[in-house]
Amino acid sequence: MKLIHAEKLKELCIQMFMSAGTPQEEAEIVVDNLVRTSLRGVDSHGVRAIPRYINNVKEGKIVPDAPIIVIKDASTTAMWDNNRGFGFVTGKKAMETAMRKADTYGIGAVGTYNPKEGDDHIGALYYYAEMAALKGKIGIVTCSCHPGMAAWGGASRVLGVNPIAIAVPAGKHPPIVWDIATSQVAVGHLSVMAMRGEPIPEGWILDKEGQPTTNPKDFFEGGALLPFGTYKGYGLAIIIDALTGGLGAGCSFDNKRYGHLFMAIDPSGFTPLQDYTSRVDRLIDYIKASPTRTGVKEVFVPGEIEHRTMETRIKEGIPLDDPDWEALSKTATELGLDVEKIVE
């Protein structure tokens, strides 16, 4: 296990992307997302993915500094073609645009997709929803993905994991941040568990024969994820597919990559912002005052554990599994960087 201070890791990763031909501004946007996600303890969607993104830049699946193509722009809505650019960059600009529309009209929404073959992955959705919450707005982000999940009662991949994130601003507390895949587990978590040789609970995935399995590797060999909450997660996945993919990215039956929808709502269009954040604070206090079950020390609200993990990792550093650190170091060295000098 390698422990690296966040600022040192950020410096290394920015230099990696710049060495691969990414403009500094875009490199900083991508790395801020990935390092912050690792700080929050969501390691599956953090810096461990950087070698993949660098490789996709080399292969032309990601084109740094590619201009966004505006397909449609209205007062409260817009649809963009990502044009094989970094999904992280397009995502940040999309949420910023949604927030500007919300400043004027109370609500804003920007859809993005990539009709060309490429990698427009935007990482963990919470990042963009939290952007809005930190500016006093409600942020909502949905994603329609290529198939990886079985229908409820099905045995093969027909739906994407179709995640959703919602963040709401509070006053004295950090924002409430909810980010889930509609599957029992995100693919990134399966990847981490497969790397560590850890079994998974039965009921998470099926193997390629449509049978339950506890081996995470079975998913990557043709298996399928299962929806969380049985028919409830399945229903949510279909709604997100129709809501996000149906607007332009394409639904599961024809979606090659990802479609995203970034929404911002200004609470002051309904009630004074201070009144709203005060109510959210009271809600958080009310929930956390709940009596706990035997063996449970504390009740948490969504995003609270990740926020505390971030506070700890800012002080102590970000831990990286040996295989992830080796892959990151190897990629950096191939780009001509002196890794130890940068992170020492």
Q: Which two tokens stand for residue 254?
A: 């024809």
* Confidence band, pLDDT 50/70/90 cuts, at residue 19: very high
* Confidence band, pLDDT 50/70/90 cuts, at residue 249: confident
**Can you give the pLDDT at residue 293?**
96
| Complete edge-to-edge strand list for the sheet that includes strand 149-150 | 157-159, 149-150, 224-225, 205-206, 212-213
Task: Give the pairing type, strands 157-159 and 205-206.
Answer: unpaired
The average pLDDT across 307-317 equals 97
- Spatial neighbors of 24 by CB under 8 A, at least 6 apart, are 14, 18
* Confidence band, pLDDT 50/70/90 cuts, at residue 58: very high
The whole-angstrom separation of Cα 25 and Cα 337 is 19
* Confidence band, pLDDT 50/70/90 cuts, at residue 192: confident
Q: Where in the chain are all domains bearing CATH 3.30.1370.60?
A: 69-183+227-289
Report the chain's mean pLDDT, rounded to a whole number. 95
User: Which numeric CATH code is attached to 69-183+227-289?
Assistant: 3.30.1370.60
Q: Where in the chain are all domains bearing CATH 1.10.1530.10?
A: 1-65+303-344
Give the closest residue to 26 by CA, choosing from 55, 64, 59.
Answer: 64
pLDDT value at 147 more than 80: yes
pLDDT value at 292 more than 80: yes
How is residue 22 annotated by DSSP? -
Q: Distance of CA 108 to CAs 104, 113, 116, Å?
A: 9, 17, 26
pLDDT value at 304 more than 80: yes
Percent of the chain at pLDDT above 70?
Answer: 99
53, 30 contact by CB (below 8 A): yes
Task: Tell me the CATH number of domain 1-65+303-344, given options 3.30.1600.10, 2.60.40.650, 1.10.1530.10, 2.40.30.10.
Answer: 1.10.1530.10
pLDDT value at 116 more than 90: no
Q: Looking at the DSSP assignment, which residues form a beta bridge with residue 164?
A: 142, 180
How is residue 183 annotated by DSSP? B
Three-class HEC string of 46-66 = CHHHHHHHHHHHHCCCCCCCC
The whole-angstrom separation of Cα 300 and Cα 313 is 19
Q: Looking at the DSSP assignment, which residues form a beta bridge with residue 159?
A: 149
**Can you give the pLDDT at residue 114?**
85
- First-to-last alpha carbon distance for the chain, in angstroms, is 16
pLDDT value at 117 more than 80: no
Measured at the CA of 144, the angle between CA 320 and CA 178, to 5 degrees, comes to 55
The average pLDDT across 224-232 equals 95
Residue identified by tokens 């981490």 is 192
Q: Looking at the DSSP assignment, which residues form a beta bridge with residue 206?
A: 212, 224
Q: Which two tokens stand for residue 10?
A: 């950020």
What's phi and psi for 51, nearest 5 deg? -55, -35
**Can you give the pLDDT at residue 257?**
77
Q: Which two tokens stand for residue 80?
A: 């963009």
Q: Distance of CA 89 to CAs 68, 145, 216, 256, 338, Å?
A: 10, 18, 31, 20, 27
pLDDT value at 206 more than 80: yes
Is the model more confident about 189 or about 282?
A: 282
> Strand, helix or coil at 7?
helix
Q: Looking at the DSSP assignment, which residues form a beta bridge with residue 4?
A: 318
* Confidence band, pLDDT 50/70/90 cuts, at residue 250: confident
* Confidence band, pLDDT 50/70/90 cuts, at residue 295: very high
Say if residue 228 is exposed, middle or buried (CB neighbours under 10 Å; 0-12, 13-18, 19+). buried
> Strand, helix or coil at 260?
strand
> Strand, helix or coil at 14?
helix
pLDDT value at 254 more than 90: no
What type of residue sits at position 132? A
**Can you give the pLDDT at residue 248?**
82
Give the closest residue to 204 by CA, choosing from 161, 253, 142.
Answer: 161
